[in-house]
Amino acid sequence: MTQTAGHRTVVLGVGSIGERHLRCFQSTGRTELAIVEPNPTLRQTVAERYGISQAFASLAEAWEFRPTAAVVATPAPFHIPLSTELAERKVHLLIEKPLSTSLEGIDRLQQVVGENNVTVALAYVLRMYPVLQGLKSALESGRFGRPVQLVAVGGQNFPTYRPAYRDIYYRDRALGGGAIQDALTHTLNAGEWLVGPIDRLLADAAHQVLDGVEVEDTVHILTRQGNVMGSYSLNQHQPANESTLTVICERGMVRGEFHLNRWRWTERPEEPWHDEPVAVAERDTHFIAQADAFLDAVEGRRSVACTLQEGLQTLRVNLAALASLDATVWQPVAENAIR
């Protein structure tokens, strides 16, 4: 697709997710593109693959490209300092999840973003999925009454879908690795979008199966989201690639079945599920939609899908979950404790 000169977007970091952003922004045909990648072999390979003539080893070099927008797809600890430097030059930002691995520097980023009127979106791409959008609309309609419980269950075989997991940031929690920061954060953000922010939680996680790493690959988190009781369960080793999110309300329930491309609802006992199928998407469809939505927001034609404040809230949830792993107090079940 022929690129237009309406935007000048630089993608920082072209590992697997950065390369996907590059490909999907290119597919919109709405922006000129450049990349920043310190690894010279990867930089050259990706630049040649997508016909990118502007390929830089550092952000300092990339200023000659005069970017108006940036995708920050580096490891999570670098998101805030890079985003702040970009925002200081009034560059609009799509920041990969999670926002960071700590709260350090976020106040300064928020200040610079406000002062320079910078558009910022967090790349929680589930918000682009029609299945999740269907759940959101159904709950907001009020038809099913007040949400009271949320149950999210997911699993995927990492060696099949992410075979390089041992060699990338995933292996190190300090770089944003482990199941909580890498994958479950998507579902936590989705749950907060549906029923409100998590205000307290209890987490349990462990490394159970994955070879070559020590970070957690299996997680259970119990949450309270106002009056909504939540349960989030994820593993990264089961054979089946499945993900469901169910919200039980006062007068019915809705369920997203992402692996089956549908959401469902029911209102009465013994009533069958009513299915609301959505079109089967191509591999990059949701990421292209995310790129278009971000560029629309930069142009002032719509709001961002996930705001900086919402991304910060989910970061706080990530950090609380990790802290809970160290602080959890298990209550032993004593034999003959109840007489």
CA distance 175 to 195: 29
The per-residue pLDDT for 338 is: 52
311 within domain boundaries: no
Q: Which two tokens stand for residue 316?
A: 């706080």
For β-strands 262-266 and 274-277, DSSP reports them as antiparallel
314 within domain boundaries: no
335 within domain boundaries: no
Packing angle of the helix pair 185-195, 130-140 (nearest 10 deg): 30
> Are residues 196 and 76 both part of a single domain?
no
> Are residues 170 and 235 both part of a single domain?
yes
Distance of alpha carbon 274 from the chain centroid: 28
> Are residues 138 and 118 both part of a single domain?
no
> Are residues 55 and 135 both part of a single domain?
no
> Are residues 95 and 179 both part of a single domain?
no
> Are residues 167 and 254 both part of a single domain?
yes
> Are residues 43 and 155 both part of a single domain?
no
The per-residue b/e assignment along 290-324, b for 16 or more CB within 10 angstroms, e otherwise, is bbbbbbbbbeeeeebbbebebbbbbbebbbbbbeb
- Percent of the chain at pLDDT > 90 equals 92
Cis peptide before 38 (omega within 30 of 0): no
pLDDT range class, residue 6, cuts 50, 70, 90? confident
> Are residues 270 and 144 both part of a single domain?
yes
> Are residues 41 and 79 both part of a single domain?
yes
* 87 phi and psi angles, rounded to 5 deg: -65, -30
221 within domain boundaries: yes
120 within domain boundaries: yes
The per-residue pLDDT for 337 is: 53
Mean pLDDT taken over the chain: 95
Q: What type of residue sits at position 255?
A: R
337 within domain boundaries: no
Q: Is the pLDDT of residue 84 over 90?
A: yes
The per-residue pLDDT for 335 is: 65
What is the domain extent for residue 267? 129-279+319-326
Whichever domain contains 86, its CATH number is 3.40.50.720
Count of domains forming the chain: 2
Q: Is the pLDDT of residue 126 over 60?
A: yes
The per-residue pLDDT for 73 is: 98
Whichever domain contains 235, its CATH number is 3.30.360.10
Q: Is the pLDDT of residue 322 over 80?
A: yes
pLDDT range class, residue 214, cuts 50, 70, 90? very high
> Are residues 237 and 151 both part of a single domain?
yes
CA distance 62 to 54: 8
> Are residues 159 and 272 both part of a single domain?
yes
Q: Which two tokens stand for residue 142?
A: 């009020």
The per-residue b/e assignment along 71-106, b for 16 or more CB within 10 angstroms, e otherwise, is bbbbbbbbbbbbbbbbbeeebbbbbbbbbbbeeeeb
pLDDT in tens, 232-283: 999 999 999 999 999 999 999 999 999 999 999 999 999 999 999 898 888 8
> Are residues 97 and 229 both part of a single domain?
no
pLDDT in tens, 108-120: 999 999 999 999 9
224 within domain boundaries: yes
Q: Is the pLDDT of residue 2 over 50?
A: no
CA distance 83 to 69: 11
Q: Is the pLDDT of residue 9 over 80?
A: yes
338 within domain boundaries: no
> Would you tell me how many other CB atoms lie within 10 Å of the CB of residue 224?
13
